Structure 1
Amino acid sequence: MGELLALTSALCFGTTHFLSGLVARRHHGVTVAACAQTGGTAVSLVPVLLTHAAPAPPSALAWGALSGVGTGVGVACLYWAMNTGPMSVVVPVSDITAVGVPVAAGIALLGDRPTPTALTGIALALPALWLISRDGTGHTGGDHHTASLVTALVAGLGLAVQFFALARVPADAGWWPVVVSRVLSVAVILALLPAVGASVRLPGRAAATAAAAGALGTLATVLYLLATREQLLSIAVVLSALYPAVPVLLALTVLRERITRPQAAGLLGAGAALALIALG
């Protein structure tokens, strides 16, 4: 059961990023993120209402709040990067950063000792990101391409904070930390809107798509938390971390995005690095 929950979580996460990325192609990514997280916040209240959950401990709520700050920055930058960069490149860059940075921070700051498998993944990530950043001439991309990659890296850092903080929420804390996380993510994104010159409104159909994507993202988070309670954490993480394959494959097949051979090699390397880090 735990494996099925984790795989369904990956499918939901991947579909969320693909749908939001489609909307972000025509509208500012930060506006899309605000709408998506608002939809996700509404859905996060459902398990609380259904289970009549008691308030969570303050420490758990604090970790939920920190994850919300990371989510707000991560999602806003991710969808903003999709404004100018190809989805098939932006998503893997942000995801491998989101997974790799906590591992590296644990080594440098917390004295963690990853397995040789995880260390191999970290070493593989660097050349993979370099290959992804190359254009068809063998040089780094133009200003727009470089900017989208930098924004994707910032998105990965924000998501890394999200994953780290959520991992600190105890299993018996209930669902209130998820609600706090979603509310804070909306607040962070709304604060970013004036700074990037983005509007708070989307046209009706775009707003509905973004809100549905955000709701699906919250469902993915809930499924992931359930999976960690039904299955070993390492297995749940590995299966849930497969989600970048969904938007990448959809971008290549449905949107007909084109990538160079070096970028294709980099994407394969990024996928391998992600799997190795997760397995480690």
Structure 2
Amino acid sequence: LIAAVCITLTEFFSRRVSDEIGPLASAAAASLAAAATIVPLALFVGGDPMGQDLVLGACSGIGFGIGIAAYLLGVRVSSSAVIGPTVAALATLIPFLYAAVVEDLPPVLAWLGAVTVVTGLLFVTMGGDVASNVRGGLPIGIVSGLGYGIGTAFLVDVTDDAGVWPVASQRGMAFITIILWAMLRKRPLLPPMRFAPQSTAAGLFGGLSTALLLAGFTFNAAATSVTASLFPATSVAAGRLFFGDAVNRAQVIGLVIVIIGTITIVIA
């Protein structure tokens, strides 16, 4: 649960920078700070990663780089009530579908969860109004969700002995991906130094969320996955309280349905 809150805090500080400078510079700074946080953690935890593990982590980082940059762009033009559930749904569904294809067929409960997630997304998108700009935000949310979902799927085949080194290569490649994106778009690569505290906080909480998830998996993987999947709820609450995001009743219902579906998939 603390990891879910840390994810929201990462978004909170990143949005502060994004609103002033732009989503790409904000995402790049947060990714760089997260990588700097993960490397000491990887040294502390240890591990014996194979080259394949680091490559999978780097491929995951491409997806995560696109995911975080698109997420910050999405909440800038739309609302966290649109972007959050969309991203959470795809980030869960894509690894689920990947596992369904290359590994054992998931149980019926997992498929029920997938249908529930899609139903929740219908509430989120159809319940939006002009203020939440569903038409402008939904495509960006889909891009972000695809990035996170595909990035997560790459981590499925990482070996157990790799430690957290694949996450270090993931965060590093995410930073490189965002920098290249910013160069192509001719946008600022990093925020000015006056935003260093916010960017550092975003990266630290991002790295801390990963550390907490890894620690939770050691004790109880199912419980950790379920509670961490609640992050869209805290993100929407923070977006409403601190950024004035438009949220209506149908979108709240959709958010709850998405979370229920996500939890169902994780439990299955």
Query: Is it true that 1:121 corresponds to 2:113 in the alignment?
Result: yes
Q: Give yes or no for contact 1:26–1:83 (8 Å, CA) kept in 2.
A: no
CA 1:239 to 1:261, structure 2 compared with 1: closer, same or farther past 3 Å? closer
Aligned residues: 268
Counterpart residue number, 1:3? none
Looking at structure 2, the residues matched to 124 and 251 of structure 1 have their Cα atoms a distance apart, in angstroms, of 24
- Alignment of 1:194 with 2:188, yes or no, is no
Contact 2:132–2:247 (8 Å) recurs in 1:
no
Q: How does 1:134-213 map to 2 (within 5 A)?
A: 134=126, 145-213=134-202
Cα distance in 1 for partners of 2:93, 2:168 equals 26
CA contact (8 A) 1:10 1:243 kept: yes
Q: 1:122 to 1:20 in 2, by over 3 A?
A: same
Task: Report deviation, 1:209.
Answer: 0.7
1:250-269 to structure 2, matched below 5 A, reads 250-269=238-257
- Aligned counterpart in structure 2 of residue 18 of structure 1, from 6, 9, 12: 12
Structure 1 position 136, deviation (Å): 5.7
Q: 1:68 aligns to what? A: 61
Give me the TM-score of the superposition, normalised by structure 2. Answer: 0.89
User: RMSD across aligned C-alpha pairs, in angstroms?
Assistant: 2.4
Deviating above 4 A after TM superposition, structure 1's stretches of 4 or more consecutive aligned residues are 141-144
Distance 1:274 1:199 in 2: 36
| Residue aligning to 1:46 | 40
Unaligned residue ranges in structure 2 (runs of 5+):
none
Q: Report deviation, 1:144.
A: 5.2
CA 1:11–1:136 in structure 2 vs 1: closer, same or farther (change >3 Å)? closer
Deviation at 1:54, TM superposition (A): 6.3
How far residue 236 of structure 1 moved from its aligned partner, in angstroms, is: 2.3
CA deviations on 1:131-150 (whole Å, 9 max, x unpaired) are: 2123566xxx6995323211
Whether the aligned pair in 1 keeps the contact of 2:8 and 2:235 (CA below 8 Å) is: yes
Distance 1:189 1:267, change over 3 A: same
Larger helix share, 1 or 2: 2
| TM-score, normalization by structure 1 | 0.85
Is 1:242 aligned to residue 230 of structure 2? yes
SS in 2 for 1:114: coil
Task: Supply the distance in 2 between the matched residues of 1:144 and 1:88 (Cα, whole angstroms).
Answer: 11
SS of the residue 1:202 aligns to? coil
Q: Which residue is equivalent to 1:271?
A: 259
Structure 1 residues 129 and 54, CA, compared in 2 at 3 Å: closer, same or farther? closer
